[in-house]
Amino acid sequence: MKRLFILIMFVITGFVAVAQRGNIRGFVYDKATGEPIIFTNLFLEGTKYGASTDVNGYFAISNVEAGKYVLVARYIGYAEQKINVNISSSTLHLKIELEATVQMLDAVTINAKKEQAKTQSNVSVEKISANDINKMPSIGGQADLAQYLQVLPGVIFSGDQGGQLYIRGGSAIQNKVLLDGMVIYNPFHSIGLFSVFETDIIRNADIYSGGFNAQYGGRISSIMDITTKDGNKKFTQGKVSVSTFGINLLLDGPIIKETDNRHYSLSYILSAKNSYLSYTSKNIYSYIEGSLPYDFFDLYGKATLSTSNGSKINVFGFNFTDKVHGYKSIADFNWANRGFGTNFILLPGSSSALIEGVFAYSDYTMNMDDNTGNKMSNIGSFNAGISTTNFYGKNRLQFGVEAIGNTTRTTMALMDTLKDFSSEIAAYTVFKGFWGKLLYEPSLRFIYYASLGEASFEPRLSLKLNVSDKFRLKLASGMYSQTFIDTKSDRDIVNLFTGYLTVSPELNTVSKFKGDSITEYLERSNHFIFGIEYDILTNLSCDIEVYYKSMTGLISVNRDKYYDDDVYHSDKPDYLKKEYIVEDGDAYGGDVSLKYEDGRLSVWAIYSLGWVKRTNEIQTYYTHYDRRHNVNVLASYQLGLNRSWEISLRWNYGSGFPYTPTRGAGENLPLQDGIASDIIYANGNLMTYYGDLNSKRLPDYHRLDLSVKKRWQIGKRSVFTLNLSVTNVYNRNNLFYYDRITSSRVDQLPIMPSIGLAFSF
């Protein structure tokens, strides 16, 4: 009996000991503006307990033994803060405000980055802030996300005018772009140098070139997840910038300020940018043939209601437009993307759980009028989702559900309007855990494509092994699917018009591939990625990744169609008479990235090696964006005691893209009257005879961009900035393409100097 009593007391004591654990959760903000500070490192001094803030500034340190501790908060550019905390069995809620400082110890900076490298898998992802983008040479005096994306490992940009971004072998339609949780269908303007996103409102942009976890779906190549800043909660501020390319306006501030008696706030942020390049180019850049007929207008607004515990709700809307008048004297083109939405963050009860949700609607329409007639495409889309994240010590578990609906309409010349409605319902779970030096992140996504009656189970896995403080191994693999396609063939080098469609048998698609019947119309891909991270020196790091993407069921416009799809040609194979064909694809290669940062000097060098192939019923070929070698060097240096001068440059080299040579040309007489046709005086049509598909390559491409900035501090909060920049400094004649009809050469942008002025207040 005595032994039983002792055993019971021992068990009770064990339960009490386990129960005497608590949680710390909260948010970290900029003290001056109230803006969340992302990726702040927090830890309990003298222990292994720690965490870093997410994109909302939220952190959670769970399962901490009861007792008194010192919580340390560190972030580059802010003064370190130490807070005495007393942990009990309950959850401690904190609101931490950090003060910006110009003094920061190198050791603190290094430790912050090392901690993040060890606790994040970071496989094929780049996390970008507005400060990163501003290190780029500012083309036209305006730093822009579109310019920064072209530097990233694995990213190929096909041209300055009408070009597209291709990420590790995926075409543009296989890239998903999210803005505050809303799907954006065209994030880039026609000139290719600017995105629809105002740089100064970007809090963070996560660019996944592959291997992304189950939180994201509906695309088989890449994800761009962009989060905007909240409005200033303390005071009104703004920025006006003018350049030879356009004008930008930004304004944000509080509508209702938080006070000692009022434990909530309401703030706003508004941005607008307008290009007038079609007008200024006639005078400033008159030496460019055909001028630059590009204009755009972008408007974005958001209101944020925040509570004292960090819960908040955002309401946002946007209107992005783009106009091209007389592109190469052959076409007028315009598009408009409008939308609105809301997202929220909730911290329920006393747990460390985090609930996030979004509902949004966007409508995208593009029109084009060329020598083939009018073309129009429209997509109306809604997406809704909710997720909950629970924290267990260093580990965390996330569950989420998502619903997406699309309505598409596409009208082509001499064709009936194609209409379709599609919907997706998805559920996912992501677990992130630590086992000694191993970080593991298994995840699973289930998608039901209601319009096709098809379901897809997509397991994914990410691993990181911290071999030492300086050396880390990483790996990612996963399965992905999508039904979203466009009317543009991957063989088209330049094609401003993109019609958006969803896959279905009604699209006049082939029913067989390589002799086998097609049982599902889902585009699929599998990703395999392996990488190494090595801190060579204190300020120098190296990141190497190799990857392989296999793609199946790719739906593409049939450029090999020869027969009409009618009863007279029923004996002909589908791939010679259907409008759409099926292809398989492979993309493989590797990226090497070197980064050096010491405060004033920042250097980033990237080399990418890649192959991109497609296989159809007729042949295997390299896509037109199969660039074998790609090199980017980005450097930025700050001068002066207060770092008011900044010089930045970017040099890009790319080996030649594949193209299909012209074998010859001749006259094609229709002979409508049979033997009575007048073959002597009749006028026929020009017929072009092509060589083997993409069997030749264009010349190599290289370009140097340079920018010099000078800042003047005016008063406490006002700054005046002068920006002088030159695009294509040594005026390299980079070939875009040859016009097959006129045999004339079409080059990319020549040397373009510009000046920009900005005033922040």
What is the average pLDDT across 155-160?
82
| Residue 221: partners with Cβ closer than 8 Å, 6 or more residues away | 167, 168, 169, 170, 171, 174, 175, 210, 480, 525, 549
Q: How far apart are CA 545 and CA 168, in angstroms?
A: 12
Query: Which domains occur in the chain, in start order?
Result: 20-106 (2.60.40.1120), 125-660+696-760 (2.40.170.20), 661-694 (no CATH)
Sign of CA dihedral 432, 435, 437, 442: negative
pLDDT tops 90 at residue 601: yes
**Which residue has tokens 């993307």?**
337
pLDDT tops 90 at residue 663: no
Distance of alpha carbon 5 from the chain centroid: 62
Residue 644 phi, psi (nearest 5): -80, -15
Q: What is the percentage of the chain residues whose pLDDT exceeds 70?
A: 90
Distance of alpha carbon 27 from the chain centroid: 26
Work out the mean pLDDT of the chain and round it to a whole number.
86
pLDDT tops 70 at residue 276: yes
CB contact at 8 A, 352 and 58: no
CB contact at 8 A, 138 and 725: yes
Hey, what amino acid is at 253? Answer: G
Beta-bridged to residue 235, according to DSSP, are: none
Q: Which two tokens stand for residue 306?
A: 């925040």
Task: List C-alpha distances in Å: 339 to 199, 320, 472, 637, 749.
Answer: 19, 9, 42, 39, 32
Q: How far apart are CA 727 and CA 193, in angstroms?
A: 11
State pLDDT tens for residues 91-138.
888 888 898 875 544 444 444 556 667 678 788 899 998 888 988 887
Beta-bridged to residue 58, according to DSSP, are: 27
Q: What angle do CA 151, 155, 156 make, to 5 degrees?
A: 100
Q: How far apart are CA 677 and CA 668, in angstroms?
A: 13
Give the model's pLDDT for residue 11.
37
Q: What angle do CA 91, 94, 99 make, to 5 degrees?
A: 160
Give the model's pLDDT for residue 327.
67
State pLDDT tens for residues 436-446.
999 999 999 99
The residue ranges of DSSP E strands in 518-577, in sequence order, are 523-535, 540-557
Task: Lowest mean pLDDT of 267-271, 543-547, 597-601, 701-705, name the range.
Answer: 597-601
State pLDDT tens for residues 505-517.
678 888 888 888 8
Region class of 141: left (phi > 0), else alpha (psi between -120 and 50), else beta: left
**Residue 258 banded pLDDT, cuts 50, 70, 90:** confident
Region class of 543: left (phi > 0), else alpha (psi between -120 and 50), else beta: beta
Give the model's pLDDT for residue 692.
86
Q: Which two tokens stand for residue 137?
A: 């040479």
Q: Which two tokens stand for residue 428?
A: 């996912």
Give the model's pLDDT for residue 292.
79
Give the model's pLDDT for residue 6.
43
Q: How far apart are CA 136 and CA 636, in angstroms?
A: 8
**Where do the H-state alpha helices sit in 150-263?**
none
State pLDDT tens for residues 444-503.
999 999 988 899 999 999 999 999 989 999 999 999 999 988 877 666 666 667 778 888
State pLDDT tens for residues 162-200.
667 899 999 888 999 999 999 998 888 877 778 899 999
Reported pTM: 0.90
What is the average pLDDT across 4-29?
57
pLDDT tops 70 at residue 8: no
CB contact at 8 A, 151 and 132: no
Give the model's pLDDT for residue 490.
63
Nearest CA to 92 among 101, 100, 83?
83
What is the average pLDDT across 531-560?
93
Sign of CA dihedral 514, 515, 520, 521: positive
Q: How far apart are CA 393 and CA 23, in angstroms?
A: 9
Question: In this structure, how many other beta carbons lie within 10 angstroms of the beta carbon of residue 1?
Answer: 5
Give the model's pLDDT for residue 373.
74
Helix (H, G, I), strand (E, B) or coil at 278: helix
729 or 691: which leads in pLDDT: 729
The DSSP letter of residue 415 is: S
CB contact at 8 A, 121 and 734: no
Nearest CA to 107 among 469, 539, 467?
539
Nearest CA to 174 among 630, 623, 736, 701?
623
